[in-house]
Amino acid sequence: MNAFKMDNFNDRRDNSAKARQAALEKFRARPGPDDPAVIARREELMAIAAARSARIEERRLAREAEAKRVAEEKAAAEAEAKAQAIAKALADAEAAVRALAADADKKARAQALAAEQKAIRDARYAARAARRK
């Protein structure tokens, strides 16, 4: 194991000054805004940002197109459902009309039969009355 090194104040102060100097030199060594590498990096980042915004816009347009397609499909489905409901109501109404017509026809036949039976009965009564006289 390494032994603990006891630094004195001057050693710590010198180390701190060296660290500050190294940080300052690193900052000064940084390229300026007119350096070709910095300009190239800036242009590269701008191109990346432009491509990103183009992809974002493309996705937004795709989402809007999908939402429009879904809305159109929903409207078509609703229209189809309404058409089917109307067709069912029409079929039910036609069935009701046929049932009413059949009922009316049945009532008319019953009335005709009743009138015929009454005529036959009245003829029998008239014949019986004629025989008595």
pLDDT one-digit tens code per residue, 2-52: 656 667 888 889 999 999 999 999 888 888 888 898 999 999 999 999 999
Q: How far is CA 63 from CA 32, 34, 48, 77, in A?
A: 43, 42, 22, 21
What confidence score (pLDDT) does residue 33 get?
80
65-98: per-residue pLDDT in tens? 999 999 999 999 999 999 999 999 999 999 999 9
Rounded-to-integer distance, Cα 80 and Cα 44, Å: 53
Is the separation of the CB atoms in 37 and 31 below 8 Å? Answer: yes
Reduce the DSSP state of residue 53 to 3 states and report it: helix
What confidence score (pLDDT) does residue 4 get?
63
pTM of the model: 0.48
Q: What angle do CA 86, 87, 88 make, to 5 degrees?
A: 90
Rounded-to-integer distance, Cα 112 and Cα 90, Å: 32
Average pLDDT score over residue span 100-104? 94
Rounded-to-integer distance, Cα 39 and Cα 33, Å: 7
Radius of gyration of the chain (CA): 52
Is the separation of the CB atoms in 38 and 31 below 8 Å? Answer: yes
